[in-house]
Amino acid sequence: MSSVRGVAIVGTGSAVPERVLTNDDLAKMVDTNDEWIRTRTGICERRIADANTATSDLCVLAAKRAIADAGISPGELDLIIVATVTPDMMFPATACLVQDRIGATKAGAFDLSAGCSGFLYGLATGSQFIAAGLYEKVLVIGAETLSKITDWEDRSTCVLFGDGAGAVVLQSAPAGAGVLSVHLGAAGSGGDLLTLPAGGSRRPTTAETVAKREHYIHMSGNEVFKFAVKVMGEASLKALEKCNKTKEDIDFLIPHQANIRIIEAAVKRLNLSPDKVYINLDRYGNTSAASVPVALDEAVKAGKVKKGDVVLLVAFGAGLTWGASVIEWSKG
């Protein structure tokens, strides 16, 4: 990013529901088993929101934790961005609900949708407001309650997803510090590979769309897998190139937690040792836009990410989309 002002992450926070759904639990619901799920995905369990918990509820918890970690008050925020494909409702934006509940009275607020890449898109967007000198403090949240749009009778998809929220506070920093580069991409030609077919203006909700189970996630798993294996490595290398870094400069990798085999392919492409990669896929499954910020928060709190480290974030998602960012970690 060519900018006079740098942009740093000064606070992180995350939240996941209490309920744990294990592979053995799923085996009682659909024709599957623990070994099949673990060997193909790396997932052992996931967190599921209860009937009374919406995406905004998880957002608020993660936001409050990130704001406290940053040592600021909600009233200091200039902007709130929520990346999600499971908003509380079509409108108002989930970000507006969060703004009200945390008391960020002077902040603008909007949602964006980029599937599992959403947090990286939000990070890029929030960073630009600060880099341009328009705002000083921006809250970016990636949050999902995918359990609400998962078809629990479809064994090919219901084993994959979980719920959660992760948040970061962005703030201006010295030039050349913090967010060093961002790379975003999309291949809309593959949009039909991962979709929620009905409920929008193309196919409004009707008795027919509900009967056809078109308000649940539909995914062409093999095609998405092939796309992900290719793009995770490519996006990472492009983000590194943009800030004149190489894969040898990476101190820590935080990838989208979709499938262990996809992560392993990216790690191999980047020639990283396993101790430089954070994985929580086994505990949470794929939480879409929440995946990267939840993992980042856990890695930071566990002391795995340290001041001065070069951290690479990378994700892919519905759209099809992808995103990567290189960050020089500035929080001690």
Exactly one of 116, 158, 259, 280 is catalytic; which is it? 116
Closest CA to 250 of 173, 313, 205: 313
Rounded to an integer, what distance in angstroms lies between the CA atom of residue 14 and that of residue 69? Answer: 11
Rounded to an integer, what distance in angstroms lies between the CA atom of residue 31 and that of residue 124? Answer: 41
CA distances in angstroms from 138 to 45, 157, 166, 329, listed in the order given: 32, 34, 14, 17
Q: Which residues pair with 286 in a beta bridge?
A: 161
Judge contact between 254 and 299, C-beta under 8 A: yes
Exactly one of 96, 256, 259, 280 is catalytic; which is it? 256
Judge contact between 121 and 323, C-beta under 8 A: yes
Exactly one of 23, 259, 280, 286 is catalytic; which is it? 286
Alpha helices in 19-172 (DSSP H): 23-27, 34-41, 55-70, 94-102, 118-131, 155-158
Alpha helices in 140-259 (DSSP H): 155-158, 207-211, 221-242
Q: Is 256 a catalytic residue?
A: yes
Which residues are annotated as catalytic? Answer: 116, 256, 286
